[in-house]
Amino acid sequence: MTQTMRWFGPADPVRLRDIRQAGAGGVVTALHEVPNGAVWHRDAIAERKAMVAAAGLDWTVVESLPVDERIKTRSGDWDMLIDHYRQSLVNLASCGIDVVTYNFMPLLDWTRTDLDWELPDGARALRFEAVAVAAYDLHILQRPGAEDSYDAPTRRAAAARFAAMDATARAKLERTIIAGLPGSEEGFTSAAFLRAIGTYADVDAARLRDHHVAFLEAVCPLADELGIRLVVHPDDPPFPIFGLPRVVSTEADVADLFARVPNASNGLCLCTGSFGVRADNDLPGMVDRLGDRIGFLHLRSVKREANGAFHEAEHLGGDAGMTAVVAAVHRLSVREGRSIPMRPDHGHQMLDDLGRTTNPGYSLLGRMRGLAELRGLERGIAHGADDCRSALGPRATSRASPCRVPDPR
């Protein structure tokens, strides 16, 4: 794997030299200052790339080039916005960018209800609680028809939760859910969010899938020519929220997308944290079955809790089964002869970072810990396979060779 870390540009409290000292060879970043739907100009891309190179790092992966909401709903001047997207791809390719991440989640990017949930060791993590979402949806946002999205026990729990919160807690929950997390493409007030939900009134899951396919059919032929791999980030969390459909939540969703748009440029950002929220997503199996489409890896883990809640676990803990995932990635890398860009995703706020201003999920030390752990895990798996091949000699080339990295599930 090619080791990178996410960087949010010159305003990021984590500096480029910090990332280099953490052991990464590159960054994944974006022109976050450019409004959604606008063209990314070549000079701005080249300037940002030069800044990264001056720190001794590389930048070949964009995270993310946003897909405007009007493209997702096929409304307004959506066709002009697709032309803008295509021009941005041309400009990125001219600067040596060959992986472009995007998502097709309606309105909200990744969503959490707690940004500083305290763990037993005193570190802080991100957490999602379905009851808290329901409390916001039913009693603060007051979305019409929201009652139909929740069963009776959840509605009762949400009412109790809302009643127990004072004005400060309610405002904090509202801000956490809709104000925009690091890397999010939009931020809202509740009034604006309610209006925006209305723009999806006629867009159900089937129509959103069709719009996603239409977007890819418009941009993938050009991406093929440019040598760019477009990698879709899965839904986070991987299920509908606020009555809005989400259509990149399971292996079946992704396989259908690849079947409908078979272009080589149509790829996947495998986020083990997003997919891993669902116990029915077989993460190592997804690497094995979808490997030729994987162009970028987000490696993190979540711990599933009761009643649809989850929190960010340490990178090698939780429910992701990271040893099996990295073993599958190693098999893929050997089979295809390529190194896939990887970044340690959300880390805990810990140690000295507890006293610093940080982007939630993107403090330095928690991600540096994750990168070190993932690097060691990968090297251990690779060296074990190398030692086996050395010991067996010619026998190691057999399809039945015990040197094939086992699946440790």
Whole-number average pLDDT of the chain? 94
Q: Residue 400 — very low, low, confident or very high, per pLDDT cuts 50/70/90?
A: very low
Candidate list 114, 200, 253, 298, residue with the active-site label:
298
Could you read off the pLDDT of 60-112 as tens digits, one per residue?
Answer: 999 999 999 999 999 999 999 999 999 999 999 999 999 999 999 999 988 99
**Residue 389 pLDDT exceeds 90:** no
Tell me what pLDDT residue 183 has: 67
What whole-number distance in Å separates Cα of residue 49 and Cα of residue 61?
11
Candidate list 85, 102, 150, 362, residue with the active-site label:
362
Tell me what pLDDT residue 394 has: 58
Tell me what pLDDT residue 391 has: 59
Tell me what pLDDT residue 49 has: 98
Domain 2-109+201-299+316-397 has CATH 3.20.20.150: yes
Could you read off the pLDDT of 176-218 as tens digits, one per residue?
Answer: 998 766 766 667 899 999 999 999 999 999 999 999 999 999 9
Alpha-carbon torsion 304, 309, 315, 320, what sign? positive
Q: Residue 327 — very low, low, confident or very high, per pLDDT cuts 50/70/90?
A: very high
- Give yes or no: 41 in active site: no
Tell me what pLDDT residue 384 has: 81
What whole-number distance in Å separates Cα of residue 396 and Cα of residue 400?
8
B/e letters for 359-384, b = 16+ CB within 10 Å, e = fewer, are bbbbbbbbbbbbbebbbebbeebbee
| 3-state helix/strand/coil string of the chain | CEEEEECCCCCCCCCHHHHHHCCCCEEEECCCCCCCCCCCCHHHHHHHHHHHHHCCCEEEEEECCCCCHHHHHCCCCHHHHHHHHHHHHHHHHHCCCCEEEECCCCCCCCCCCEEEEECCCCCEEEEECHHHHHHHHHHHHCCCCHHHHCCHHHHHHHHHHHHHCCHHHHHHHHHHHHCCCCCCCCCCCHHHHHHHHHCCCCCCHHHHHHHHHHHHHHHHHHHHHHCCEEEECCCCCCCCECCECCCCCCHHHHHHHHHHCCCCCEEEEEEHHHHHCCCCCCHHHHHHHHHHHEEEEEECEEEECHHHCEEEECCCCCCCCHHHHHHHHHHHHHHHCCCCEEEECCCCECHHHHHCCCCCCCCHHHHHHHHHHHHHHHHHHHHHHHHHHHHHHHHHHCCCCCCCCCCCC
- Give yes or no: 298 in active site: yes
Higher-pLDDT residue of 409 and 102 is 102
Angle between helices 283-290 and 322-336 (to 10 degrees): 10
Peptide bond into 408 cis (omega under 30): no
- Give yes or no: 271 in active site: yes
- Give yes or no: 311 in active site: no
Candidate list 12, 137, 236, 345, residue with the active-site label:
345
What whole-number distance in Å separates Cα of residue 181 and Cα of residue 172?
13
Candidate list 271, 315, 319, 348, residue with the active-site label:
271
Candidate list 233, 311, 330, 348, residue with the active-site label:
233
Could you read off the pLDDT of 266-283 as tens digits, one per residue?
Answer: 999 999 999 999 999 999
Pair of tokens at residue 386: 């190398």
Could you read off the pLDDT of 229-253 as tens digits, one per residue?
Answer: 999 999 999 999 999 999 999 999 9
Higher-pLDDT residue of 370 and 406 is 370
Peptide bond into 339 cis (omega under 30): no
What whole-number distance in Å separates Cα of residue 19 and Cα of residue 151?
45
**Residue 388 pLDDT exceeds 80:** no
Q: What is the mean pLDDT of residues 311-328?
A: 97
Candidate list 212, 311, 315, 346, residue with the active-site label:
346
**Residue 407 pLDDT exceeds 70:** no
- Give yes or no: 346 in active site: yes
pLDDT above 90: percentage of residues in the chain:
90
Is residue 270 within 8 Å of residue 323, measured between CB atoms? no
Is residue 63 within 8 Å of residue 41, measured between CB atoms? no
